[in-house]
Amino acid sequence: MELDRSIKFPDTDEAQDLVKWGLDSFHPAVALACSFSLEDVVLVHMAVQVRPDVRVFAIDTGRLNEETYQCADVVRRRLGVTIEWYFPKREDVERLEREKGLFSFHESLEARHECCRIRKVEPLSRALSGMKAWITGLRRKQGVTRSELKPIVRDEAHGGIIKISPLAAWEFEQLWNYVGHHNLPYNRLHDFGYPSIGCEPCTRAVQPGEDSRAGRWWWESPEHKECGLHINDNKQGCRTLQNQR
C-alpha cells in the first residue's frame, strides 16, 4: 500500500504521543504487534485510550509458553481488544519437523533461522499485508542488536511501511511502573526472571547481571539474537525519518 508522502512526522519521542500519532495518521492501515511481553501490554493499554478499535495482532508459533496464552486471554478480556492471531503455514511446519525433527534450531544458526522464518517471519508478512504502519514494543536496552533503535523508521524489509517503536528509550523499570500504576495484567513469566519472552524451547530465565535478552537463544552470540521479525535498522538499510520530522 502506497504511503501518503504528505504525512507530518511528530516532533516528540513521548511514547503516548507516538502511539496517538501512529493511530491517527494511519488507521485503519496500522496494527500493533503483540507478543504479550511487558512492553506490548503497555502499548495495548496506550493504544486503546486513543482507539478502542485498535488492530492488535499476535503470532502463534505453536511453541509458546502456556503463560503467554493465559496472558493473551486476560489482555483480550480486560482491555477489550480483538486479537488477530496468525499461524505458520501448516505444510511448512510439517515439512520442517518431518525432515529435521522437533529441535533442529539447536543444530546451527542457519537451522534456527529457518525455524524462525517458518514460524514467525512468514506469518508476520501476512499480518502486515496492506498495512501502512505497525507499532512494536522494541527498546534500545533489550540488547546489542537494538542499541541504536530509532522510534520511527521506514521498514524496508516490509515494503517501506512505517515502523513505530514508542518505547525505544524506556527502561525496564518504567514498564513496571506503568503496569503497576494502571493495574494491568502481565505475563507471569516476568515474575520468574524472564524479561524477554519468546518460544518456550528458545527462552530461559536470565541470571543476575545478564542483559534482558540473554535468555533468548542463549546458546548463540549476542549479535545473532534476532529472529527476523526486526531487522537491525542501522545495518540492514532501513533509514530513519528524523530528517523528515
pTM of the predicted protein model: 0.87
Q: What is d(CA 159, CA 109) in angstroms, rounded to the nearest whole number?
A: 26
Q: What is d(CA 58, CA 44) in angstroms, rounded to the nearest whole number?
A: 12
Residue 9 lies in a domain: no
SS3 assignment, position 222: helix
Question: Structural domain of residue 129, as residue ranges?
Answer: 15-244
Residue 10 lies in a domain: no
Residue 86 lies in a domain: yes
- Do 71 and 187 meet the contact criterion of CB atoms below 8 Å apart? yes
Residue 84 lies in a domain: yes
Q: What is d(CA 27, CA 205) in angstroms, rounded to the nearest whole number?
A: 37
How many domains are contained in the chain?
1
pLDDT at 225: 52
Residue 63 lies in a domain: yes
- Do 127 and 57 meet the contact criterion of CB atoms below 8 Å apart? yes
Query: pLDDT digits over 149-169, tens only?
Result: 999 999 998 999 999 999 999
Residue 125 lies in a domain: yes
Residue 78 lies in a domain: yes
Active site residues: 227
Q: What is the mean pLDDT of the chain?
A: 88
Query: pLDDT digits over 98-152, tens only?
Result: 999 999 999 999 999 999 999 999 999 999 999 999 999 999 987 776 778 999 9
Q: How far apart are the first and last CA of the chain?
A: 21
Query: pLDDT digits over 197-233, tens only?
Result: 999 999 999 988 888 778 888 878 776 555 545 465 4
CATH number at residue 236: 3.40.50.620
